[in-house]
Structure formats: structure tokens, C-alpha cells
Amino acid sequence: MEVAEERPSASPPPIVHAGEAQILRLYIAGQTPRSVAAFANLKRICEEHLAGRYRIEVIDLVQNPQLAAGDQILAVPTLVRRLPEPVRRIIGDLSNAERVLVGLDVRPAR
Amino acid sequence: MAKLAKTPTGIEGFDEITEGGLPTGRPSLVCGGAGCGKTLFAISFLVHGATRFDEPGVFMSFEESTDELAQNVASLGFDLPGLIQKKKIALDHVRIDRSEIEETGDYDLEGLFIRLGYAIDSIGARRVVLDTIESLFSGLSSESILRAELRRLFRWLKDKGVTALITGERGEGTLTRQGLEEYVSDAVILLDHRVTDEISTRRLRIVKYRGSAHGTNEYPFLIDEDGIAVLPVTTLGLGHAVSSERISTGVARLDTMLGGEGYFRGSTILVSGTAGSGKSSLAAHFVDATCRRGERALAFLFEESPAQVMRNMRSIGIDLQPWVDRGLLEFHAARPSAFGLEMHLSRMHRAIDRFSPSVVVLDPVSSLLGVSAAADVHGTLMRLVDYLKGAGITALMTSLSHGKTEQERTDTAISSIVDNWLLLVTLESSGERNRGLYVLKARGMSHSNQIREFLLTDHGVELIDVYAGAAGVLTGSARLSQEAEEQAAALVQEQELERRQRALARLKTTFEAELAALRAKFETEQAELASGIIQQQARAARLKEDRREMARSRRADAGNGGDRPPRKDDAKVKER
């Protein structure tokens, strides 16, 4: 569960290059409608924009509560991009695809 | 209805003013400005719970990291890493960095609940601290979600049955920036750190405590190397028990002035006087007498260092060092301006609690006047006196009076709360100053109303009678010279008397001599007179004889002796 937490804030957010894999972790708390929706949204966005270049791990905190502290999870659902660095967190049901892509540095923020 | 269950915080004084601590199984809020001691208050609550009440606790920090926190409280003697290892305390640092969080759509804070729940369950926690949960507002943008989740959180904490303490930063016109007080309705504690006249004072107030009686005052509290201590002020009232036991003042003549036995145990004594009038010396005697009985004395010095006091007292023959060595005497020296009045009071309170002395000396209380207004000093001292009386501790306070007005200030501030008031005055006359002592007030005992001259000798304080005569009250050399004059006058009178006695004796001798002479003269006269009468009688007898002889020779009738009626020729005889 080691996560690199430090990140120089001055550096510009790198744009993801083709071929670079996104390692994504979706934290949920039980099979709630919101977590189901979040997973579905994430799956769809990744298939559309990152086909073949992503891996999703779903962590249910109800079953693994000890994992919440390590990744500094407060809100649920939280999507954590562990790689490539820097670590990014996107909270919410991921219903806004545009913002998810900005959050994942797939698209630059407008 | 059952009384509200309470969970002791173990914070000195706080459990007294809340009559037991924080409401058990409910969330309480402690709020205040930056640096007012919120975190310290909260961590003390947890650590005391873990170490003294066998109640493990979870500390969820939204600000300081685990390491920072451990370091900060290590100075108070709290061993956080040790307690964490023993599973007495669980620490979780919640870090929120808005710059790395993107919000898309709906969410809740279930993650926080799970983290907290996990921490609680992992050590069986009974206590929870959230410090400062308001940081969430700066990390997450959706206020409506946050507010709903906070409401849910506090309800959840209640359901969990843990006694929770939530800290909050004070806002403009509100108790907390985000209005946390709306969610925490059971107990709200406000901490305050105020600076008045460049002196800072920490205060604590219970703003709200549902279902429980609590003190509503602002209570001063202090943070030092021993942690937080709140001073439960006043509230003791006048219900304290009194003792009729008397204890020596340490000066035999003063005991005599106070009805022969000294002060009442548990009473309060004020010794006021001008500079150098011997107040500290009188206090030192009292301390010495106390330690001599094997009792403990605690002295608070506001002007001198302990070493200085001991040196000065040695010069009048009082050695306090042995008492210090034997642990019967303790000094606490602090400049009046070092802290605010409340801080002084709190520190004194704490020192008294620890040392449990039977006698407390404050030398001099008047210097506290420099720190605060007289009314505050009055309040502070009254609280201290109430506390001391409640504990049956005899207190001696000295008060320096500079001039008339200053003295009055001190007097109004202190005199009404003391039982005994000794006034030391300097009597200035004929170019010298001498010390005098009055007993102005001595509640509940007969006492001398006379002034005594107060001498500081190399074997301590001595009280002697002053000369009080036609010429007024005289002390020092004036008294001595007056006494000498009186002695001389008495001598002269005595001599005069002797002289007159001698004169009388002489007169008596003369009188007796003259009496003897007169008597002799009288007796001579008498003797002469007696012999004269005899001679006269003899002469008369002879004359008669002669006449008879003559008659016989003239052949007169026998019956015509001397007794015959006169005849013509008798007249002739007469004519011859």
C-alpha cells in the first residue's frame, strides 16, 4: 500500500502519452448504487479513451477497512491514479467524463 | 431520571467545573482561536483516558502529522508512540490536498467513517478526538455534502457510544468557522487566549452543557510542563469549616497581643506596611514556627529570590535552609509581570495542591496590583483565600504600602477578605525612623489595641512596649531618652524626699532637744516655785508667831490674840 505522496506542485501536469499504462484504483464502500454507477462510468471512460492502456482495481472498504488510511481515502467513491505519478484522486460517481479525463491528465484542464 | 453519565477528562480542574467531565457517549466541541490549546486539550483527554481510566482512544488529526503530534506532546510527558504500540491509542492523520483532488459527481464521506470505525474497532476505543474536522471544508468543495455528512458523522459517533471531542477554530462572530456548534449540541467548551497589557491569560468557558449543571464563569487555565490545568475559581462559597485551633505567630509577644495564643488555624493574615517595615521578617518568623512544629510551609515570592530571602533572614537569626533541606519549606518565586493574575493564581493553586502545606505565605501580594486593576486583584485574592480556607490552610500575605493612597488601594482590595490585619508603621520623630506594630483587626479573638515597638535584632523580631505618656508615643532613642529622663526625674524626686526626711529627722532632734530644755526650765521653775511657797508659808508662820510673841509681850487678852476685833489703837498700829 506504499504510495508516493509528495509531488512538486510547481511541475506542469504531464499529459499521458500513448502506451503509458494507467493503474487505477477505485475505492468503494459496498455495492451501493453510487459505487455501481462509478464503476460503470469509469469502465466506459477508460474503454473510450484509454483502451488497452489501463488497469482497474476495485477496493471495497467495507471488506478491507484497513486500506482506507493508506491511500488517504475520505470520500467514497474515490478513484486513485497511482501510476503514472503524480498521484491523482478523483472523487464522486465519475458521472462527468470530461472532468475525469482532466483529472487523469488525459486532457488538459480548460 | 438518571443523571447524565460523564467521562472524566483527567484535566485538572475541568472535571470539577463540569461535575465529572464530558458527556459520556456524546460528541463535545472544544473551540477557540489559533494557539489557544485546543489540540492539547483534546490529546490530554485521550492520553488520560488511556493511561488513567483504561479507555483507549482514537486521535484523528486533520492538521498535524502523526510524528509532529507525538513530538509536540512529548514535552508534556505524553509517550504517544508507546501508547500506540500498546494499542491504547490509535492515531490517524487525514491529509487533504485540494490540488490533487478532482470532484466529479456525487459522493459521500463513507471512507472517513470506515477509517474511523476501523481505528475504533482495532483498539476498542471509548474516546475519539477529531482535530480539526473543519479542515474538510478547505479540502472539499461541496459544502452541502459536507454538512450533511457531518451531521451524519456526529449521529454515527453517538450510535457508536464513544465519547468524542471535536475541535473547531473560532470564527468571526461565531464559535467556529463552519458553525460546528450546530451539530454538536451536547457540550461546547470555548478556549480563549487573551492578551491584556502585554500579559497573556488563557481562559476556558463552558458555553453549553446540555442536561448538566456547570460553572458558567470564565476559568483561567494554564499549559505548562505538566499539561493543562483549569482553575476552578470561587464556587467554594463561605461554607468552609473553621478551626478554633491556634498556631503561633513565631513571635512570643505577638502571640500575647493576639489573646496569648496566636492566629487561628486556617485564617488569613494580612501584614501591611511601608517599605522596610519588617513584613517579610514577620512572615519568616511564622514560617520558621510552622516548620518547627514539623508542618509544611509554602512561600510565594514576588520580589525576591529564595536565596536572597534566606540570606536576609539569616541576618536576623532565622535560618530557613534546614527546613528547605528537610522538605518542609518550598519557595516559588516569580516576577508579578511574568504572567497575568489568573496565571499566578493557577500556578499557586497547582503548587498548593501538590505540596499540601499547612501554611502559605505570599510576599507581597501588593505587587500583583502592578499586573492588574485592583478589582481583579481583589477577585483573585478572594478566590485564593476561599480556596485556602476550604483547605484549612493558614495564609499570611504581606502588602507593601508606599504612601497613603497606595495603602488605601491595597487595603480596599484585601482587607475585607482577611481575618487578621497587622499594620507595621514607621514612626518618624527626632530624626529617626522606628518601627511600630498594631493589630488592626483580629476576627474572633481578644487582642491588644496598643502599639508595640517592633525591633529587628540579630535574634529575630522583638516587640516591646512603646512609651505612651503625656508627650505622646515615643519610640527608639526618643523612647530611650524619655525613659532616661523619667529615671533621672525619679531619682531627683527620690533624693529630694531623702533630703526632706533627713531635714525632718534633724528637726525632730532639735525639737526634742528644745523640748528637753524647756522641760528642764519648767521643772526648775516648778521647783523654785514650790520652794518659794514653802518659804512663804514659813515666813507667814513666823510672822504669826512673831505677832503672838508681841501680843504676849504687850499682855494682850488671851482671846485678843490675832483674832480679836479691830480696835482703835490697832488703826494706830497700822498707821505706823
Domain residue ranges of chain A, discontinuous segments joined by +: 22-103
- Cα B271 → chain centroid: 7
Say if residue A3's pLDDT is above 60.
Answer: no
In this complex, which of B99, B102, B107 lies closest to A77 when CB atoms are compared?
B107
Whether A67 contacts chain B with CB within 8 A: no
pLDDT band at residue B569 using 50, 70 and 90 as cut-offs: low
Residues of A in contact with B117 (CB under 8 A): 65
| Residues with Cβ within 8 Å of residue B438, at least 6 apart in sequence | B422, B423, B425, B451, B452
Residues of A in contact with B119 (CB under 8 A): 69
pLDDT band at residue B500 using 50, 70 and 90 as cut-offs: very high
DSSP H helices, B102-175, are 110-123, 135-139, 143-160
Residues of B in contact with A106 (CB under 8 A): none
Q: What is the DSSP letter of A14?
A: P
B55, B60, B63, B68: CA torsion to nearest 10? 50
Residue B374 has a pLDDT of: 66
Q: Which residues partner with A24 through β-bridges?
A: A56, A81
Residue B100 has a pLDDT of: 79
Quick one: which of B351, B353, B387, B342 has its CA closest to B235? B387
For A22-103, which CATH superfamily applies? Glutaredoxin (3.40.30.10)
Say if residue B504's pLDDT is above 50.
Answer: yes
Residue B238 has a pLDDT of: 54
Prediction pTM value: 0.65
Residues of B in contact with A88 (CB under 8 A): 100, 102
Tell me which of B43-57, B438-452, B531-545 is least confident.
Answer: B438-452
In this complex, which of B94, B107, B110 lies closest to A92 when CB atoms are compared?
B107
CA distance B9 to B21: 6
Interface of B with A in 119-158 (CB under 8 A): 119, 136, 139-140
User: Are the beta carbons of B60 and B81 closer than 8 angstroms?
Assistant: no
CA distance A103 to B101: 8
CB contact (8 A) between residue B104 and residue A90: yes
Whether B517 contacts chain A with CB within 8 A: no
pLDDT band at residue A11 using 50, 70 and 90 as cut-offs: very low
CB contact (8 A) between residue B104 and residue A91: yes
CA distance B496 to B545: 71
pLDDT band at residue B379 using 50, 70 and 90 as cut-offs: confident
Which one of B110, B115, B133, B142 makes the best mutation probe of the A interface by having the most chain A beta carbons within 10 Å? B110
In this complex, which of A72, A77, A94 lies closest to B95 when CB atoms are compared?
A72
Residue A13 has a pLDDT of: 43
Say if residue B63's pLDDT is above 70.
Answer: yes
Give the H or E element holding residue B212: none
Residues of B in contact with A72 (CB under 8 A): 94-96
In this complex, which of B92, B105, B117 lies closest to A94 when CB atoms are compared?
B105
In this complex, which of B105, B111, B119 lies closest to A73 when CB atoms are compared?
B111
pLDDT digits (tens, 9 = 90+) for A14-32: 444 445 678 899 999 988 9
**Mean pLDDT score of chain B, rounded to an integer?**
83
Quick one: which of B431, B457, B353, B491 has its CA closest to B16? B353
Whether A23 contacts chain B with CB within 8 A: no
pLDDT digits (tens, 9 = 90+) for B343-364: 787 788 888 888 889 999 988 8
For chain B, helix (H) and strand (E) counts, in that order, are 16, 25
Q: Tally A–B CB contacts below 8 A.
A: 101
CB contact (8 A) between residue A88 and residue B96: no
Residue B232 has a pLDDT of: 62
Residue A10 has a pLDDT of: 42
pLDDT digits (tens, 9 = 90+) for B211-263: 877 777 788 787 877 778 887 655 455 556 677 888 888 888 888 888 878 88
Residues of B in contact with A33 (CB under 8 A): none
Whether B465 contacts chain A with CB within 8 A: no
Whether B457 contacts chain A with CB within 8 A: no
More confident residue, B479 or B103: B103
More confident residue, A60 or B444: A60
- For residue B56, which phi and psi values (nearest 5 degrees)? -60, 155
Q: What is the DSSP letter of B78?
A: -
Residues of A in contact with B96 (CB under 8 A): 72, 74
Residue A103 has a pLDDT of: 81
Q: Nearest chain A residue to B107 by CA: give it.
A: A92
pLDDT digits (tens, 9 = 90+) for B69-88: 888 888 888 888 999 999 99
Say if residue B487's pLDDT is above 60.
Answer: yes
User: Are the beta carbons of B165 and B189 closer than 8 angstroms?
Assistant: no
Cell output for B301: 515570592
pLDDT band at residue B390 using 50, 70 and 90 as cut-offs: confident
CB contact (8 A) between residue A74 and residue B102: no
pLDDT digits (tens, 9 = 90+) for A73-93: 989 999 998 877 778 889 988
Residue A7 has a pLDDT of: 41
Say if residue A37's pLDDT is above 50.
Answer: yes
Residues of A in contact with B136 (CB under 8 A): 74
In this complex, which of B105, B110, B139 lies closest to A76 when CB atoms are compared?
B110
Residue B556 has a pLDDT of: 64
Residues of B with a catalytic annotation lie at: 63, 303
Peptide bond into A77 cis (omega under 30): yes
Say if residue B554's pLDDT is above 90.
Answer: no
Q: Nearest chain B residue to A35 by CA: give it.
A: B107
Residue owning grid cell 513530538: B71
Whether A95 contacts chain B with CB within 8 A: yes
Whether A54 contacts chain B with CB within 8 A: no
**Most confident stretch, A75-79, B384-388, B452-456:** A75-79
pLDDT band at residue B553 using 50, 70 and 90 as cut-offs: confident
Residue B567 has a pLDDT of: 56
Rounded alpha-carbon distances, angstroms, from residue B397 to A55, B61, B354, B455: 79, 47, 20, 20
* Mean pLDDT of the region B307-330: 90
* Mean pLDDT of the region B123-137: 90
Residue B537 has a pLDDT of: 92
Which one of B114, B138, B143, B145 makes the best mutation probe of the A interface by having the most chain A beta carbons within 10 Å? B114
